Amino acid sequence: MSFSIRLSSEEKALAESYAKIHSISLGEAFKRALFERIEDEYDIAVANDAHDEYVKNGCKSRPISALWEDLDL
């Protein structure tokens, strides 16, 4: 699959510079950026779901100092 993106000359220069620094093609740079963004948003959604479940189950956090006391640290 292929696609095209319209970029300003400044955006194109920045993207080309990034690709060159990382020794990858411009297409690979955009592909990596896209999938990193997808992974980040997925991780955030999973974390939010886990937190909602944590709160729903009545769990509460404690200060780290309480854990240190429990572990005699």
Check residue 8 and give its pLDDT.
Answer: 98
Match 């999938």 to its residue by tokens.
Answer: 35
The predicted-structure confidence for 44-73, as pLDDT tens digits, reads as follows 999 999 999 999 999 888 899 999 999 998
Q: pLDDT category, 42, cuts 50, 70, 90? A: very high
Check residue 1 and give its pLDDT.
Answer: 84
Residue 62 has what DSSP assignment? -
- Assessment of whether the complete model's pTM goes beyond 0.75: no
Sign of CA dihedral 33, 36, 42, 44: negative
Q: Are 19 and 28 in contact (CB under 8 A)?
A: yes
Q: pLDDT category, 23, cuts 50, 70, 90? A: very high
